[in-house]
Structure 1
């Protein structure tokens, strides 16, 4: 439990929320909601991978 990187937990929960948003958008047959959720997913996952790379280069992982 002491080795948990909380920033990655937050990124993963945000990515799951974006994926749920895609499902909601499809269920509502709303293209804007689905599109915004897809963009949010790309943004969140991209930032997560960028943060992981930065932390790996700094020796924090």
Structure 2
């Protein structure tokens, strides 16, 4: 696997764990876990999209 693919896989796993954490937050009725998981999902998805854009720009040149 390429280095980029491993990084994308890691970001996808972090995002899935964050989505699962939202379920745990609802079950535990914990606002803190919910907020932290939403923050983690946002950061992981944002990093993934920005990395994909940067990778696409370098391939076009």
Q: TM-score, normalised by structure 2?
A: 0.87
Paired positions, count: 59
1: CA distance between counterparts of 2:44 and 2:59?
Answer: 22
Answering whether residue 35 of structure 2 is matched by residue 21 of structure 1, we say no
2: CA distance between counterparts of 1:40 and 1:9?
Answer: 15
Superposition CA RMSD, Å? 1.8
Task: Report the equivalent of 1:50.
Answer: 50
2: CA distance between counterparts of 1:23 and 1:59?
Answer: 38
Gaps of 5+ in 1: none
* Per-residue CA distance 1:22-45 (angstroms, 9 max, x = gap): 111111000110111001100110
* Greater RCO (Cα-Cα under 8 Å, separation 6 or more): 2
Gaps of 5+ in 2: none
